[in-house]
């Protein structure tokens, strides 16, 4: 059975209790081609410094990714992903051993190596479909895992994505992947669901998912929303520059929190943390 049906419970990662309020994941992309900050944090020392800044702004988790999943992106080799990610995880952990580090990967080898180096959450955009060994690695580690919905793959996912009922289809997919994870030995309390905002979805699909996020929350697992600086916010506001979409991101996250989301993956930690703290106080 799922561990909770509300957004106010706690869960543990890296020896720390996260929650019951909103949990902020600060984005740390160590890629040359991410849509918003590609190439900025490739150097491990620079990356560790940025992680420190994210923590100072109130991030509870640092989410490190070594392969861009922006629309149209090509995959990198397993060796290249590990070469990018592992030194950064080590650098962040060495300087901030108290930090909870999440690794954005669908590869079991990368997950295993970075968990040994200090990471404590696996963020898998394929929901354990990308590597047949990933579920076993997560189960053995006993760590939380994020299961995300994505239609297709990054290279082609925004080429005319179609659904009959996007909310029902994403909900059913996530329910099935959670069942798969439990059957593979992953504890229910370690499962986090992500509807995959912007991953094989049009503006209207994203809005429908955020509007009806309660349908996914009702599955009983903590829900993560990754709307930060996404294209649909630019389409609504007319802002082409990703870094300018802070206010739109804040609005999406506050309304997602109201509908039961618990975790928020963001680039702009301070603005989102402050807004979500106020939203949590008002909600009681």
- Predicted confidence (pLDDT) per residue in 39-59, tens digit: 465 677 888 888 999 999 999
CATH class of this structure's domain 22-283 = alpha beta
The domain segmentation of the chain, as residue ranges, is 22-283
- CA 193 to CA 3: how far, in whole Å? 12
For the record, the structure tokens of 235 come out as 């389409």
pLDDT of res. 35: 43
In 73-126, which ranges are E strands?
100-104, 121-124
Go through the chain and tell me how many residues it has.
284
Instruction: Tell me how far apart the terminal alpha carbons of the chain are, to the nearest angstrom.
Output: 27
CA nearest to 195, candidates 101, 121, 259: 259
DSSP single-letter state for residue 13: E
pLDDT of res. 11: 82
For the annotated catalytic residues, the residue numbers are: 230, 265
For the record, the structure tokens of 264 come out as 């928020």
- CA 110 to CA 123: how far, in whole Å? 11
- CA 72 to CA 142: how far, in whole Å? 33
- In this prediction, the residues of the chain whose per-residue pLDDT falls under 70 are 1-9, 33-42, 70-73, 154-157
């Amino acid at each position: 059975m799922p561990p909770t049906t509300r957004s106010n419970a706690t869960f543990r990662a890296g020896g720390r209790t996260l929650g019951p309020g909103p949990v902020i994941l600060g984005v740390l992309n160590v890629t040359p081609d991410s849509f918003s900050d590609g190439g900025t944090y490739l150097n491990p020392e620079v990356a560790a410094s940025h992680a420190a800044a994210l923590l100072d702004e109130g991030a509870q988790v640092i989410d490190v990714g070594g392969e861009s999943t922006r629309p149209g992106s090509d995959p990198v080799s397993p060796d290249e992903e590990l070469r990018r990610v592992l030194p950064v995880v080590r650098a962040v952990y060495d300087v901030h051993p108290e930090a909870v580090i999440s690794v954005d990967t669908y590869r079991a080898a990368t997950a295993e190596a970075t968990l040994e180096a200090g990471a404590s959450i696996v963020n898998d955009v394929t929901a354990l479909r990308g590597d047949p060994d990933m579920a076993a690695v997560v189960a053995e580690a006993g760590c939380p895992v994020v299961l995300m919905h994505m239609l297709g793959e990054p290279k082609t996912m925004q080429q005319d994505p179609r659904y009959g009922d996007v909310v029902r289809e994403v909900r059913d997919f996530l329910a099935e992947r959670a069942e798969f994870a439990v059957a593979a030995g992953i504890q229910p309390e370690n499962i986090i669901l992500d509807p995959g905002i912007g991953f094989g979805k049009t503006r209207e699909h994203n809005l429908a998912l955020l509007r009806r996020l309660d349908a996914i929350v009702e599955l009983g697992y903590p829900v993560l929303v990754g709307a930060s600086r996404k294209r649909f916010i630019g389409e609504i506001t007319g802002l082409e520059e990703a870094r300018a979409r802070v206010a739109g991101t804040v609005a999406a996250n506050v309304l997602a929190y109201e509908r039961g989301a618990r975790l928020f993956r963001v680039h702009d930690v301070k603005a989102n943390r402050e807004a979500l703290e106020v939203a949590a106080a008002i909600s009681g």
